[in-house]
Amino acid sequence: MNILLLGSGGREHAIATALAASPDSDSIFVAPGNGGSAPGVHNVALDQLDQAAIVRFAREQDVGLVVIGPEAPLVAGVADAVRAAQIPCFGPGASGARMEGSKRFSKEFMIRHDIPTAAFASFTRIPDALASLAKTGAPLVVKADGLAAGKGVIIAQTLEEAHAAVLDCFSGRFGEAGTTVVIEEYLTGPECSLLVFTDGQYILPMATAQDHKRALEGDRGPNTGGMGVYSPVPIVTEDEYAQMLNCMKLAVAGMRSEGIDYRGVLYGGFMLTPEGPRVLEFNARFGDPETQVILPRLKTDLLTVMRAVAAGDLGDLQLEWEERWAISVVLASAGYPGAYETGKAISGIEDAEALEDVHIYHAGTRRTEEGLLVTAGGRVLNVTALGTTFVAARERAYEAIELIDFEGKQYRRDIGLRALAGRSAWE
């Protein structure tokens, strides 16, 4: 089967790699893709939001499955267009993607379906939002309603910061995403992601994973798209896991009851508070970089799972997982998440990949016309390693990182350390 995968990050390289390993996959077209490769994988210059071009390409190339990686095409309804053309698609339509595309929609949905989440209020007018601050007090969390690539969430420790965050949100900086603001209760505890495959009725949970969102060691500095991740998350208790899974079941059942036909991945971002797990957010897709530790641990054929999801036929499948731990460290360009330079030559990937149990996923890379691999983004590479113990996986990942070089390479050396230290590290 030929497959069209939309996206260009480390997540998409991990998905393409897993699909390429399937006995049933032929050509895998990645639009637009990056410098990463896998057998049978070809980059194509297609606009991820151009529905007509995507459908035309899929027809011309006899594509049997379209897989949508990032949130923007999902929120824009690309999956609806693909399905309308009778092409199976992995990824929810616009109605389901609102779970990620509108924080207000998603919070109101959680209230309707008794899914535990931070208390909140939403506002479309500055004076109302500011008036509410005085009543609630700090700390609190101010969020732009729409997609803002992780930059629309501000944790305000004081009322002054909250005030500034509200004005910033409405300043026009986030465009349409900032015309509604959500103000939330501030929660504390470790974070944990639980992603599930769902065909709109059945769900198959994936392994838990924990991202490191801050740029600097010790969880300091600005938020990023994610600097490192590991799976599974050892500090989660059985009881917490059961509660998280129940939230995911409530969400899928809730969408079904509201007539949303959701086929793809539902990503639950949780905070494990002293009162139990609370949903911070839902995403309508695989996480990045969570996918880069989840898929290397999935033993079941990914294409089989994705086809069943797209066909609405997940009921009979079971997932098999590697026992081993996985950790992935992001190598970023100097300056990220602020301004950074690109075009720096990357060396050592082959040596790093030659190490046992190491996978290098490309994120912001590209090949020049001469075939040279250079940096092309903020997050450049994801270095994933598997190990029979958490410590072994960590050591292997950092060993691989030593072998890779590019000008300005920066990374966090503390990925996974808190998990090793145990629950008390979050108190």
Which residue has 């990374």 as its token pair?
A: 411
Q: Which does 184 bind (CB under 5 to 8 A by kind): ligand AMP, ligand GLY, none?
A: ligand AMP
The CA-based diameter of the chain, rounded to the nearest angstrom, is 61
Question: Taking contact as CB under 6 A, which single stretch among the options 44-52, 149-157, 230-238, 409-417 is the one that binds ligand AMP?
Answer: 149-157
138 binds ligand AMP, rule: CB under 6 A: no
Among 287, 337, 377, 416, binds ligand GLY (CB under 6 A): 287
Rounded Cα distance between 95 and 110, Å, is 15
211 binds ligand GLY, rule: CB under 6 A: yes
101 binds ligand GLY, rule: CB under 6 A: no
Q: Which does 226 bind (CB under 5 to 8 A by kind): ligand GLY, ligand AMP, none?
A: ligand GLY
Give me the least distance between CB of 183 and ligand AMP, in Å please: 10
Nearest to 405 by CA among 344, 362, 357: 344
Q: What angle do CA 397, 398, 402 make, to 5 degrees?
A: 120
377 binds ligand GLY, rule: CB under 6 A: no
71 binds ligand AMP, rule: CB under 6 A: no
Give me the least distance between CB of 136 and ligand AMP, in Å please: 12
Map the footprint of ligand AMP across residues 150-179, applying CB under 6 A. 150, 153, 155
222 binds ligand AMP, rule: CB under 6 A: no
Rounded Cα distance between 195 and 269, Å, is 8
H or E, element range at 42: strand 41-43
Q: Nearest-CB residue to ligand AMP?
A: 281
Total residues contacting ligand GLY (rule CB under 6 A)? 6
Rounded Cα distance between 91 and 417, Å, is 34
Q: Which does 290 bind (CB under 5 to 8 A by kind): ligand AMP, ligand GLY, none?
A: ligand GLY
Q: Which residues of 328-337 are buried (b: 16+ CB within 10 A; e: fewer)?
A: bbbbbbbebb
Rounded Cα distance between 409 and 427, Å, is 32
Amino acid at 8: S
For ligand AMP, the closer CB: 143 or 297: 143
Token digits of residue 305: 């799972």
Rounded Cα distance between 113 and 37, Å, is 42
For ligand AMP, the closer CB: 290 or 301: 290
Question: Taking contact as CB under 6 A, which single stretch among the options 46-54, 108-116, 282-290, 307-315 is the one that binds ligand GLY?
Answer: 282-290
For ligand AMP, the closer CB: 143 or 394: 143
7 binds ligand GLY, rule: CB under 6 A: no
For ligand GLY, the closer CB: 80 or 288: 288
Map the footprint of ligand GLY across residues 213-232, applying CB under 6 A. 226
Q: Sketch the per residue contact string, 383 through 412, with ligand AMP: x for CB under 6 A, - otherwise.
A: ------------------------------
Give me the least distance between CB of 211 and ligand GLY, in Å please: 4
Map the footprint of ligand AMP across residues 180-219, applying CB under 6 A. 184-187, 191, 213
Give me the least distance between CB of 23 and ligand GLY, in Å please: 29
C-alpha 144 chain-centroid distance? 18
Question: Taking contact as CB under 6 A, which single stretch among the options 42-50, 117-125, 283-291, 309-317 is the one that binds ligand GLY?
Answer: 283-291
12 binds ligand GLY, rule: CB under 6 A: no
Among 76, 156, 192, 280, binds ligand AMP (CB under 6 A): 280
Give me the least distance between CB of 308 and ligand AMP, in Å please: 28
CA distances from residue 7 to 30, 43, 72, 79, 165 in whole angstroms, order as listed: 7, 10, 10, 14, 31
Q: What angle do CA 110, 253, 64 make, to 5 degrees?
A: 115
- What number of other Cβ atoms are within 10 A of residue 211's Cβ? 24
Which residue has 């594509």 as its token pair?
A: 63
288 binds ligand GLY, rule: CB under 6 A: yes
Residue-wise DSSP of 138-174? SSEEEEESS--TT-SEEEESSHHHHHHHHHHHTTTTT
283 binds ligand GLY, rule: CB under 6 A: yes
Among 184, 240, 290, 301, binds ligand GLY (CB under 6 A): 290
**Cβ–Cβ < 8 Å for 167, 126:** yes
Which residue has 């992935």 as its token pair?
A: 328
Nearest to 402 by CA among 383, 375, 421: 383
Q: What angle do CA 219, 220, 222 make, to 5 degrees?
A: 110
Residue 91 burial (10 A CB sphere; 0-12, 13-18, 19+): buried
Residues that bind ligand GLY (CB under 6 A): 211, 226, 283, 287-288, 290
Chain positions contacting ligand AMP, by CB under 6 A: 118, 141, 143, 150, 153, 155, 184-187, 191, 213, 269, 280-281
